[in-house]
Structure 1
Amino acid sequence: MITGEIKNKVDKIWETFWTGGITNPLTVIEQFTYLLFIKSLDEAETIKEKEAEILGIPFEGIFPEDKQHLRWHRFKNLGSPEEMYHIVSDEVFPFIKNLHGQEDSAYSKYMSDAMFLIPTANTLEKIVDGIDTLPLQDRDFQGDLYEYLLSKISTAGTNGQFRTPRHIIQMMVELVKPMPEDIMIDPAMGTAGFLVAASEYLRKHHQDLFLVQGLKEHYHNTMFYGNDMDRTMLRIGAMNMMLHGVNNPNIEYRDSLSEMNKDQDKYTLVLANPPFKGSLDYEAVSNDLLKIAKTKKTELLFLSLFIRILKPGGRAAVIVPDGVLFGSSTAHKAIRKEIIENHKLEAIISMPSGVFKPYAGVSTAIIIFTKTGAGGTNHVWFYDMKADGFSLDDKRTPIEENDIPDIISRFNNLEAEKERKRTEQSFFVPIEELRENEYDLSINKYKEIEYEEIEYENPMEIIEKIGTYEKEIMDGLKEIENLIKGAN
């Protein structure tokens, strides 16, 4: 979370954009991100130069000898704001737009129509000075910064343009454990938070994949896929992926639910938090998606999509609103039945309603399932998350209570979960019981509450004690009264 002094710095930069005449929040975010990207490129180059010097090996960076003046640490120290403005607008910006020569790369595709819109040299100087004080070396900070910037969009939470909290994304990635051979997608990618977290997980847990040429090529070119319908998000996502070391992610401008999306049996892993609110006309939805559940609700259509685009054996870890778990419409029941009976539903993790504050207060859950086409659900694991390490109000300040490590630990050892009682925080529910309850997946349907019996004193004894206390008070008052009379 962006808080305290850092928050004040970011707010001041935002205010500089506004006073400089850029008042559209998405435009501010875009221009802000371009400059963050330019600074991060320079910092990454500096680190690689130092590593090459220590190892005594030659280094060829992205800034050629004749382009060294385009680096952040060079142009920020130029003599005048006008000179810096000229360098950034006329040289640096065209340089980053053409950074990837391949016309079909995600970066080139979505940077091609990017525009430098900061209007004056003085405004640029103030923004550069402000950004220069931000700790961009911290990748977690970069993600939190995106989240905070997107929170400033007035429609956030309605059109889905806000980041899923980073710690929730990381938990989901830890639960599904991406592998070097995976082909993964987020069909509503936004700023590519899930894809970035998966790439970071692989770098941490499977470093050897970069030693195998085929896997290394797969990582950079054919592992990561993302769709979105907002070109600004696609640009930010492409830059985000590149900053995190993925050279050529497959990012597309696409309505994932429409006929234009022909993907089928293509991916081995889906990680997503698709848009919840709103409904679509049947004409706007791919007919394939309506076969499982005829509905206009986007959250149900996305579940149908996940089933269609996964390969047999492919896994999904996705966030859904609670209504998906217990909705009584024909479509709600149909999609739950499809996942439970025809595939393998593994887990339902119920999250508290404050997880997405301050953007939205909706209660949500994580569904984890494997596409099989032949069933496989025997027992479903339920977990009742009560805390995620942050307060559940709009401030979302860090707290000690955090169920996330426990969730990961228990999910990694489901054999030990079989003996847990329904009164505990996690437990199994057999498929027969789900069938009896029309495939209801809300945890409260199955959770048992243990009531503790409290014994109270006999009412007559309580009345007797009150009488005793009353007598003691009256005696005390009488004694005080006598003392006052004696003193007079």
Structure 2
Amino acid sequence: MNTAILNSTLAMIDKLKTVCADFGLANDSSEYKIITESFLYKYLNDRMLHELGKLPEFEGCKGVSAIGERYRSLDADARAMLPYELGTTAIIRPEWTVAALFNRQNEEGFAKTFDEALLGIAADNIDVYAVKAGAESITLFQGVSRFIVEEYKRDGFCSALINVLADFSFADAFSQGYDFFSQVFEYLIKDYNKDSGSYGEYFTPHAIASIMARILAPEGDSDVTVYDPAAGSGTLVLALAHQLGEGNCTVYTQDRSQKANEFMRLNLILNGQVASLANVVHDDTLVSPRHLTKDGTALKTFDYIVSNPPFKADFSSSRDLLASEKYGKRFWAGVPKIPAKNPDKMAIYLMFLQHIVDSMKPGGRAAIVVPTGFLTAKSRIETTIRENMVDSGMLRGVVSMPSNIFANTGTNVSIIFLDRSKQYDKALLMDASKLGSKEKVGKNQRTVLADGEIARIIDVFNRVEEQDDFSVLADYDDIKAKRYSFSAGQYFEVKIEYEDITPEQFREEMETRMGTLRDLWAEGERLQQEIEEQMKAVRLA
């Protein structure tokens, strides 16, 4: 990965944030929309020019400026053919390119011109780049100047944005891969993910994403589907898609958070998964699952499922509906009750677990992040779900992670691995809770796993290797005997250290220890006598 290109890209993001700060929008709820729309507009502009440069009619064009000039000179018929030549690459009309807008920034009403360009690009590319929201679509751009309350400042605001964009080029970044763009994406949204932990906006650390992907598909795969019913910003599905090979899979996601879906779309675009954008759905997975069979009568099933579902959230408005007969088949273990005093503490991850189990293909695999408490919980729903995983022979194993692996929550988490490609009768249970080192993240502390520790977890799990006080291969019958506990610690062998000694050595050791005991008893009697004398003196006084 080219560090210089990465640093210049991050610097461009910082400059966009500076523009927002200069116009009073730092930490405003609208800031993330402005930053992500501006960044994405520039990325799509440069990507189009990059792809145009590969076409025969652009042969001989040296540099982005020359490609742009040739593009502007194309006649209407030639431009009409570009969608067929460029495939899923977004098409931006010549008058809406960054270079064209840069040249118009001093015109009166430039803010309107800038927004019209963004809206026009969104409309032109709606078939590929929109996100489904129920029966409607959320388009690529909605415009940015509207967030400036004082209208007279809008032209200057949009002019400042276009100057930052025109001063940067993605040309050298397109040769970079997943590791590059995953870092850019994380940096881009890091300030706008502070409410992680609310429904649909979880941000999963890359260490966990990597562990899940490399255990699920250590050798990659081809022509498969990947699904996350609570996708958030897409960290898990993108890590797995990279492990499988970006051209070897189709991604499907759903999430009820609009912000999360906007981040998800951006993540897919940056990581070469544009063909999967049509499968990104903004809606409530529990109430209205949108990925269904062709006849719409059952859930679509997938080859791979990864998810870090929200653990708790307020679902009081739909809880009774979800517990009704209509949803009985999907939530076969039951629907948790709403805590009377804390409705936002409803354990909805239990419903996602059931949904995920029912969304696996007969040969499918899944990895799900759960609270570690789930592994031993004795409540009916938790126990029923664990029973299903074992009795159906699909529990491959569990990894219990260190505390504070998420900087924004103290909840200990574990990863459950399910596999329907074979019938298991043993599960590898791993306690990795002692790994990692602590680092400060804002006001919180996070546990960070070193590369060697991540490799150890993956290698030990994939080799099904037992290591003292770290991993154990538990027989299903033993798991059933322990009330379906998935906690590794309950299966570790208790080892007693001993050494062979002669009878004479034994007698000497016993005499030494008895001598020590006699000394302790004598000391105890002396102290007792001293205490009694002091108490007697107090009474006499």
Q: Is TM (by shorter chain) over 0.5?
A: yes
**Correspondence 1:8-23 to 2 at 5 A:** 13-14=16-17, 16-17=19-20, 20-22=23-25
Deviation (angstroms), 1:340: 0.9
Task: Decide whether the 8 Å contact of 1:143 with 1:166 is kept in 2.
Answer: no
Residue in 2 that maps onto 1:473: none
Specify which of 336, 346, 349 is matched with residue 295 of structure 1.
336
Deviation (angstroms), 1:167: 3.2
- The verdict on how the C-alpha distance between 1:25 and 1:53 changes in structure 2, with shifts beyond 3 A counting, is farther
Deviation (angstroms), 1:316: 0.8
For the pair shown, the structure with the greater C-alpha radius of gyration is: 2
Structure 1: which 5+ residue stretches go unaligned? 210-218, 461-488
Q: Are residues 1:156 and 2:196 paired?
A: yes
Q: Are residues 1:404 and 2:454 paired?
A: yes
Q: Are residues 1:43 and 2:42 paired?
A: no
Q: SS in structure 2 opposite 1:275? A: coil
Deviation (angstroms), 1:12: 6.6
- The verdict on how the C-alpha distance between 1:31 and 1:367 changes in structure 2, with shifts beyond 3 A counting, is same
Specify which of 386, 392, 396 is matched with residue 346 of structure 1.
396
- The verdict on how the C-alpha distance between 1:185 and 1:84 changes in structure 2, with shifts beyond 3 A counting, is same
Which range moved further: 323-332 or 235-244? 235-244
Task: Decide whether the 8 Å contact of 1:118 with 1:124 is kept in 2.
Answer: no
- The verdict on how the C-alpha distance between 1:243 and 1:112 changes in structure 2, with shifts beyond 3 A counting, is closer
The one-letter amino acid of 1:381's match is: L
Corresponding residue pairs, total: 431
Q: SS in structure 2 opposite 1:354? A: coil
The percent of aligned pairs where both chains have the same amino acid is 19
The one-letter amino acid of 1:110's match is: I
The one-letter amino acid of 2:390's match is: I
Q: Are residues 1:121 and 2:155 paired?
A: yes
Task: Decide whether the 8 Å contact of 1:389 with 1:403 is kept in 2.
Answer: yes
Task: Decide whether the 8 Å contact of 2:371 with 2:414 is kept in 1.
Answer: yes
| TM-score computed with the length of structure 1 as normaliser | 0.74
Deviation (angstroms), 1:76: 4.5
- For 2:114 and 2:431, the matched residues in 1 are separated by 51
Please give the per-residue CA displacement for 1:226-262, whole angstroms capped at 9, x wherever unaligned. 1111223223322332332233421223221126566
Task: Decide whether the 8 Å contact of 1:326 with 1:440 is kept in 2.
Answer: yes
- For 1:29 and 1:77, the matched residues in 2 are separated by 26
- The verdict on how the C-alpha distance between 1:264 and 1:76 changes in structure 2, with shifts beyond 3 A counting, is same
Specify which of 196, 206, 209 is matched with residue 166 of structure 1.
206
Task: Decide whether the 8 Å contact of 1:293 with 1:332 is kept in 2.
Answer: no
**Correspondence 1:244-263 to 2 at 5 A:** 244-249=271-276, 250-258=279-287, 263=298
Deviation (angstroms), 1:183: 2.1
Task: Decide whether the 8 Å contact of 1:30 with 1:236 is kept in 2.
Answer: no
Specify which of 456, 459, 472 is matched with residue 427 of structure 1.
472
- The verdict on how the C-alpha distance between 1:440 and 1:305 changes in structure 2, with shifts beyond 3 A counting, is same
Q: SS in structure 2 opposite 1:360? A: coil
- The verdict on how the C-alpha distance between 1:36 and 1:352 changes in structure 2, with shifts beyond 3 A counting, is same
Task: Decide whether the 8 Å contact of 1:355 with 1:388 is kept in 2.
Answer: no
Q: SS in structure 1 opposite 2:331? A: helix
Task: Decide whether the 8 Å contact of 1:184 with 1:269 is kept in 2.
Answer: yes
Please give the per-residue CA displacement for 1:309-339, whole angstroms capped at 9, x wherever unaligned. 2222211111111121111211111111111
Specify which of 226, 236, 240 is matched with residue 263 of structure 2.
236
Q: SS in structure 2 opposite 1:314? A: strand
Task: Decide whether the 8 Å contact of 1:106 with 1:238 is kept in 2.
Answer: no
Task: Decide whether the 8 Å contact of 1:164 with 1:193 is kept in 2.
Answer: yes
| TM-score computed with the length of structure 2 as normaliser | 0.68
Task: Decide whether the 8 Å contact of 2:122 with 2:140 is kept in 1.
Answer: no
Residue in 2 that maps onto 1:362: 411
- The verdict on how the C-alpha distance between 1:385 and 1:133 changes in structure 2, with shifts beyond 3 A counting, is farther
Q: SS in structure 1 opposite 2:336? A: coil
Q: SS in structure 2 opposite 1:313? A: strand
Which range moved further: 340-349 or 79-88? 79-88
Deviation (angstroms), 1:301: 1.0
Cα-Cα RMSD: 4.1
Residue in 2 that maps onto 1:471: none
- For 1:323 and 1:292, the matched residues in 2 are separated by 17
Q: Are residues 1:283 and 2:324 paired?
A: no
**Correspondence 1:48-59 to 2 at 5 A:** 48-52=51-55
Task: Decide whether the 8 Å contact of 1:146 with 1:163 is kept in 2.
Answer: no
Residue in 1 that maps onto 2:97: 71
Task: Decide whether the 8 Å contact of 2:130 with 2:138 is kept in 1.
Answer: no
- The verdict on how the C-alpha distance between 1:389 and 1:118 changes in structure 2, with shifts beyond 3 A counting, is farther
Deviation (angstroms), 1:299: 1.4
Specify which of 119, 134, 138 is matched with residue 110 of structure 1.
138
Please give the per-residue CA displacement for 1:130-170, whole angstroms capped at 9, x wherever unaligned. 66669893312233124413333xx3223341321233213
The one-letter amino acid of 1:38's match is: Y
Specify which of 309, 313, 325 is matched with residue 359 of structure 2.
309
The one-letter amino acid of 1:427's match is: V
The one-letter amino acid of 1:36's match is: F
Please give the per-residue CA displacement for 1:169-195, whole angstroms capped at 9, x wherever unaligned. 132122212632322211011222233
Residue in 1 that maps onto 2:520: none
- For 1:300 and 1:403, the matched residues in 2 are separated by 29
Task: Decide whether the 8 Å contact of 1:183 with 1:269 is kept in 2.
Answer: yes
